[in-house]
Amino acid sequence: MTSIQGGASRERNQEMPSKSIPLVTLLWLNFNSMNNISLIFASLDSMLKQEYPNFELLLIDNASEDGSWDAVRRHVASKLQLWPNSQVRFLRTEKNLGYTGGFDYGYWSMDPSSKYVAVISDDAVLSSDYLEVLTKELEGDPSVGAIQGIVSTLDGKRIDSAGALIDKLMIPHHVMRGESVRNQEKPLPVSFVEGTCPIYRVEALRKILPGHLFYPSGFFQYLEDNLNGLLLWNNGYRCITVPRVVARHKREAGGGGLLRTYCLWRNRTALVRLTDSRLKPLEYIFGTVSMLYLLSSGQSDKAKMLVKGMHDGHGLASRMRREYGFCISLNKVPMSRLRLGHRLRLLTGRGGSGRRDEMDL
């Protein structure tokens, strides 16, 4: 692990009382990103130039092999004199730990005095007041365990993310996704904050997942943000979206490989089984209809992964109960009503606006 600090940052932070300006840790994860290096540099720059006076930036590499990590280090070193508030540490894993494992690695390494931790996707470009806006809201309301702002598409024209409301089958309804960008009047309660650039209250994380940022075994990719949101609501914390545009994001293209299909169905099935939803039997109907659609459209490999994912999801839920005692009450979570038409559009990819991909999860 190495660290680099902008020239004036230590002086400025010592002038700020720690109680009035809480320390925030930003975690950013790289993995074989050379094919997208221009956006990577834009994301890095947006973190370095934050106006907030008391933050550390932990840049984590998940054992990349394409030269992108060297490019990241050189780029950051060349920019630190421009943005002297930045305190940067470089971390590298010995092997690819997956999405949640890589962020957990950074979480274990952050300053123990950090009050908040931000999880930043490598394809997110933050506004310069991102930390200032969201931290102010967190400081004003200790009941908020997780927060995000409005995230636009990369061109700034439409809303990419404003949080999500789940229904009783754990299908998310993404708030305002695809609509024209606009600031809202007041914060919105959401089932969970989406994973592009949320900030979590560290105290709340210690209550829901002692020692971890995300569930360590099983949810190594996909729906980790869903799980955190449900657990926060069940432990007396709220998840909200602040009505300000704080970032731009280039979301990955729709679809995905067999691993994606498997993980989505396994993790969604586990979440359903962990809740007190009375509609659990409908998961089998939804899964069967989804499998038939994949078979009819010539996607037999995905259909097999769906079945395996649902089967393994039951075992995952049992393990999560044993390890952490998870049992999620949906009565404590703001939710969207179950809409069968939405289910059909997700399966067929027809109708609606904005991004749509497999299950839109």
Print the SS3 string covering 143-184.
CEEEEEEEEEECCCCEEEECCEEECCCCCEEECCCCCECCCC
User: How would DSSP label each residue in 55-70?
Assistant: EEEEEEE-S--SSHHH
Give the whole-angstrom CA distance, residue 235 versus residue 214.
16
Distance of CA 221 to the CA centre of its chain: 10
Coil, helix or strand at residue 33: coil
pLDDT at res. 18: 47
pLDDT at res. 1: 63
pLDDT at res. 295: 95
CA nearest to 13, candidates 52, 48, 49, 45: 52
Tokens of 59: 């840049």
CA nearest to 221, candidates 265, 175, 183: 265
Tokens of 192: 């969970």
Contact 242, 163 (CB under 8 A): no
pLDDT at res. 286: 87
From the candidate CATH numbers 3.40.50.300, 3.90.1310.10, 3.90.550.10, 3.40.390.30, the one assigned to the domain spanning 2-249 = 3.90.550.10
Give the whole-angstrom CA distance, residue 283 versus residue 289.
10
pLDDT at res. 122: 95
Give 300's contacts (C-beta < 8 A, 6+ positions apart). Answer: 294
Distance of CA 65 to the CA centre of its chain: 24
Contact 268, 359 (CB under 8 A): yes
Contact 137, 145 (CB under 8 A): no
Tokens of 232: 């926060």
- Ramachandran area for residue 176 (φ above 0: left; ψ -120 to 50: alpha; else beta): left
pLDDT at res. 202: 98
Tokens of 215: 């569930």
Placement of tokens 């092999």 in the chain: 65
Dihedral (CA of 178, 179, 180, 183) sign = negative
pTM, two decimal places:
0.89
pLDDT at res. 16: 44
pLDDT at res. 219: 82
Give 216's contacts (C-beta < 8 A, 6+ positions apart). Answer: 100, 101, 104, 209
Placement of tokens 């939405």 in the chain: 342
Domain ranges of the chain: 2-249, 258-360
Give the whole-angstrom CA distance, residue 159 versus residue 64.
31
CA nearest to 333, candidates 172, 204, 125: 172
Q: What is the mean pLDDT of each run of 10 residues along the chain (361 residues)?
A: 50 48 97 94 96 96 96 93 80 94 96 97 97 97 98 95 92 92 86 97 96 86 94 98 95 71 94 92 89 94 96 95 92 84 53 42 40
Coil, helix or strand at residue 74: helix
pLDDT at res. 5: 56
- What letter would DSSP give residue 335? B
Give the whole-angstrom CA distance, residue 346 versus residue 35.
30
